[in-house]
Amino acid sequence: MAKILRFRFSRGEKLKYIAHLDILRVFERAVKRAGIPAAYTQGFNPRQKLVFGLPMSIGLTSESEYADIELSEDMEPCEFIARMNEGLPEGLKVEEAVPRNTKDNIMNQITAARYEIVFEVKEPKSLFEIHSMVYDFLSREDITIEKKTKKGYRPVNIRPLIYSVSAEKTAEDRFMIKAFLSAGAENNLRADLFMQAFIQETKLEIDILSMHRKALYASAFNEWKNPFEVAND
């Protein structure tokens, strides 16, 4: 039994163009419909104590989104999963849930994300050529793009935010980039901005077919950890 639960959910193709604030509202409505005993903030506009780990960009699918919800009374994780999935629309599904005992919420713990990005090249390229482009891309010390901040757009060197990149061929003229990137409240690099930089630096003409978030990570004692692993640190 637990009063704070950390849960993992997935977002499929049908809802990939829904904005993050809309996803938040969908979950809030599902919590109400399911009769989940959510705790609420105080004040004139009380809100459910529901915190998401990392906002989802429009066009992104994922199998590894995380959120924390505070409850007004204890609830078993398995009951929470079953009741939530009855109220969520097709395309959103709660996959797992565990009690959270740490003081840090999920938003403060996420530090990295792993993505799979499938694209089609307009001019035929071999896997060797794509590998060479990835190698040259990672060899740069400075990869500057215009990044939106609270004060507007400004040039940012994103190279320190790129941890690793690899490529593989999935079909004729189609490739998959696997990117391990910095993520979280600070130093967040979205998959679409990463691909913008990759196209900018390589001059590759491509059509992006899909962007999928494979995993989110927290860091603890210089190790990458599943967010469930740090739910009770």
Split at pLDDT 50, 70, 90, the class of 171 is: confident
Instruction: List, in order of start, the domains of the chain with CATH numbers.
Output: 2-101 (3.30.70.580), 111-225 (3.30.70.3190)
For 111-154, the pLDDT digits (tens) are 999 999 999 999 999 999 999 999 999 999 999 998 877 778 88
For 68-110, the pLDDT digits (tens) are 999 999 999 999 999 999 999 999 999 999 999 998 899 999 9
pTM of the predicted structure, to 2 decimals: 0.93
139 or 222, greater pLDDT: 139
> Mean pLDDT over residues 173-178, rounded?
95
Give residue 83's pLDDT: 96
End-to-end CA distance of the chain: 18
Give residue 1's pLDDT: 54
Q: Cβ atoms within 10 A of the Cβ of 200, count?
A: 13
Query: Among residues 48, 49, 34, which one has the least CA distance to residue 79?
Result: 34
- Residues 97 and 103: their CA atoms lie apart, in Å, by 17
Quote the DSSP letter at residue 56. P
In this structure, what token pair is assigned to residue 69? 């919800």
